[in-house]
Amino acid sequence: MSVFSGMRISASGLSAERMRMDVISSNVANAKTTRTEEGGAYKRKVASFEENYDEKLGMLGVKTVSIEDDKSPLRRLYEPNHPDADEQGYVEYPNVDLLVEMSELISASRAYESNIDTLNAQKSMISKALEIGR
């Protein structure tokens, strides 16, 4: 195991949590979007991660596997005057719950901060090890 493998793992965690925060911010920005280029209302996105393991190098951290649509149903509201209303007067709104998104954002930011703390601790340990060698 390399001296820098721990730093590589923390860096991959930072990248993964940044991606998660980007997906969450996209969900919040599109919380009221009733019309997309694909047609229909915006569908909430969820980032999926898995461990990144190499047989020769060992653990390399985490990586983003996919960004998929959430399978929960869209919200339907009766608004007959809305331009996107169907024949019955219902409009489909995104399946984005702002409370859920904010709690996910807090969780992602805490995980990001934890990776920063781990990275800083590793830098400190390497620095102290180099001072011992002087």
Most confident of 13-27, 53-67, 120-134: 13-27
Section 22-38 average pLDDT: 93
> What's the one-letter identity of residue 58?
G
* Contact indicator for 72, 46 with CB cutoff of 8 Å: no
pTM of the model: 0.84
Tell me how far the alpha carbon of residue 97 is from its chain's centroid: 15
| pLDDT, tens digit (0-9, with 9 covering 90-100), for 81-128 | 999 889 999 999 999 999 999 999 999 999 999 999 999 999 998 888
Averaged confidence pLDDT in the chain: 89
Q: Which residue has the tokens 């969820």?
A: 46
Section 59-75 average pLDDT: 88
Q: Look at residues 23, 86, 75 and name the one whose alpha carbon lies nearest to residue 49.
A: 23
